[in-house]
Chain A
Amino acid sequence: MRREVPLFITAIVGISFVIQYFIPHPPFSNLSDWFSDWFSIIQACAIVLGALNLMKISFLKVKDKKPDWGYAAVIIVSFLFITIIGLSEGEGFRLPGTKFDWIYNFIFIPLSATMFSILAFFVASASYRAFRARNFEATLLLIAAFFVMLGRVPIGDLLVWFMPEGYQLSNLASWVMNVPQAAGQRAIMIGIGLGVVSTSLRVILGIERSHIGGGE
């Protein structure tokens, strides 16, 4: 029962979505609509599960006074702070001027934006330390990167001011992106597509069962 029911659910839902692609009429369209609605709700609950799990782990860390338990307490306090404010402000919680909007603009945006922006430093450092043109393929990769990096900023055209209109670095970068780069991406895309199709078939037919876990 513990393994058969999930396999049955996977198969039925998967096959319904495949059939509705070819027969987008009732009853298959109804099934597709219901399943899409349920997917949205289940995914929302999955995210809530993640948040609750985070709180559980942080709470246990604080309770047992594990190393850095202070930061776990900060996580709990921050979570409760925004959740209580957001839930108490009503449907217009995101309108400009609300406390939730203030938290978004002056706490969430600075933190999330800066967290990803420091990657710029690591990209430069990694390029300096590790990016070596050891063979022809790596050199080709480097040259393509240089042309694209220079061609996609105005300074690139400034460097080749002597070239006629239509033959500048920006035109070359555009051609590289639209032609050879697109060809390589397309090959990767078709390969991935074939992999997705075969894996999806295996999951729907119950050959792939890792998603239902091991044991009982």
Chain B
Amino acid sequence: MDHFSLWLAAFLTLGIISFLYKDNPWYKLTEAIFIGISAGYWVVTLYWDNFYGKFWVNKGEEPTLWIGAFFGFLMLLRLIPKVGWLSRWPLAFIVGATSGLWLMNYFASNIMVQVQATIMPLFSTGYGTGFDADFATIVANFVIFFGTLTGLVYFFFSKEHKGAFGVGAKIGIFFLMITFGASFGYTVMSRMSLLIGRIDFLFGDWLGMIQ
């Protein structure tokens, strides 16, 4: 890495970090550069990875792609107010395609498979019929079954949370609190990891103070 490159990277890094002190022109400059560079990065990558390969290298191999190109062109017409309404067609295509695919994917993977993994013998390993699970597995099976069930009970708002149903919902809240607590812990871990990476660049790659 040459000197100019390292100092430029450090200048940009410290410019973003300066926001922690207060909003300032240095931060605003680096933010503007980030926005412009990000937008340009997407455009360049899309051109070479999507359009060039499909319409130049492989031209003629899949003629149906030109229909997709036509829809893509209609999307760009959104910039012109008079004919902007034509962009509803590709938008409708995207929404329809996503809805169709998600309907089946979420039903299969997020509902069916998950329910199957919850409704299972509590005292057996896997889907067996023997009483062969060890104590830890039995406890885990019970916790997963009742945790999932009570969590779902909590989310059922069509019935008032009273009596036995209310007790189930209350237990569901406890499981959800454990879930959110774990998510918070992991979020802290993730954010700190990102910071450690940048500190490593500043004190390691730039200033050479650490290995």
Contact = CB atoms under 8 A, between A and B. Distances in A.
Contacts of B34: 111-112, 115
B5 to A, nearest CB: 4
B89 interface: yes
Interface in B76-125: 76, 78-79, 85, 88-97, 99-104, 106-107, 110-111, 114-115, 117-118
Contacts of A35: 93, 97
Given A83-B44, A118-B19, A192-B110, A203 B99 contact: yes
Contacts of A79: 36-37, 39-40, 43
Interface of B: 1, 5-6, 8-10, 12-13, 16-17, 19-20, 28-48, 50-52, 54, 62, 64-65, 67-69, 71-73, 75-76, 78-79, 85, 88-97, 99-104, 106-107, 110-111, 114-115, 117-118, 140, 143-148, 150-152, 154-155, 172-189, 191-192, 194-195, 197-198, 201
A140 B72 CA distance: 50
Contact of B65 (A41, A103, A115, A203): A41
Contact of B96 (A140, A175, A203): A203
A16 to B, nearest CB: 7
Contacts of B107: 193, 197
A53 B95 CA distance: 21
Contacts of B69: 41
24 contacts: A14-B99, A16-B100, A17-B101, A37-B64, A42-B72, A44-B72, A46-B94, A48-B42, A71-B28, A71-B29, A74-B33, A82-B36, A107-B37, A109-B9, A117-B195, A123-B187, A123-B188, A191-B155, A192-B106, A193-B114, A204-B96, A204-B99, A211-B91, A213-B88
A6 B181 CA distance: 43
Contacts of A158: none
Interface residues of A, number: 123
Contacts of B104: 17-18, 21
B46 A113 contact: no
A144 B182 contact: yes
A42 B90 contact: yes
A183 B99 contact: no
Nearest to A215: B85
Given A113-B198, A180-B178, A200-B102, A152 B185 contact: yes
A174 B208 CA distance: 37
B181 A141 contact: yes
Contact of B71 (A2, A42, A127): A42
A139 B180 CA distance: 12
A111 B16 contact: yes
A168 to B, nearest CB: 15
Contacts of A104: 41
Interface string A177-210: 1111111111111111110110111011000000
